[in-house]
Amino acid sequence: MTTLDPAKLERNHHQDDHHVASGHEGHPDHRILGIIVFLIAEGMIFLGLFTAYLAFRTVAPTWPPEGTPKLELLLPGINTVILIGSSFVIHNADTAIKKNDVRGLRLWFGITAAMGAVFLAGQLYEYFHLEFGLTKNIFASTFYVLTGFHGLHVCFGLILIMAVLWRSLKPNHYNSKDHFGVEAAEVYWHFVDVIWVILFLLLYII
């Protein structure tokens, strides 16, 4: 009859745990890829909206329809500069955390959040001062749907940024080797900026 050595069993157990942990650590991290796939799906929704807008514009005798007040460029132009600038700011946060600079991460994310809030405030100000409503005509309807849907994405981006700031208060939650939340928020924010540039060109410039 054989007896089992408890010490050997304990040692083997720890070795197995080590192998399991090493196996998980060796797996490639596909979380950012998942974020990108999600944003591609979101981009397809925006593409559908852009296509609808261009189709309406193509078949309309005049665009915008007669009687539609002209859009002002000053405030949307300032908003565009703010949002594009915020992409550079949030990238500084990613650079900072890769150097284990948590204070830098908080600083740059805080500035990005402030810029995003200013953008939303500017958009709301424009809404309240536009001389046409949602049901004025097809241009007005598509304008509010496109800008409103984008504004919803900006709101969600701000929630992500604030969540990262909150989690960064926990010691060593983010560091040079573990900062997925920072990268995910940055990639999402860049997506929001690119979509706005396209919207700005379609609605205000072209």
pLDDT digits over 48-94, tens only? 999 999 999 999 999 999 989 999 999 999 999 999 999 999 999 99
**Residue 55 within a domain:** yes
Global model pTM greater than 0.75: yes
Helix (H) or strand (E) holding 107: helix 102-129
pLDDT (0 to 100) of residue 14: 47
Q: What tokens appear for 32 in the block?
A: 């950012």
**Residue 2 within a domain:** no
Report pLDDT digits (tens) over 142-188.
999 999 999 999 999 999 999 999 999 999 899 988 899 999 999 99
Give the total number of structural domains in the chain: 1
64: region left, alpha or beta (phi > 0 left; psi from -120 to 50 alpha): beta
**Residue 25 within a domain:** no
**Residue 106 within a domain:** yes
Whether pLDDT at 18 is above 50: no
Task: Specify the amino acid at residue 167.
Answer: R
The boundaries of the domain holding residue 175 are 30-205
Number of H helices, E strands in the chain: 6, 0
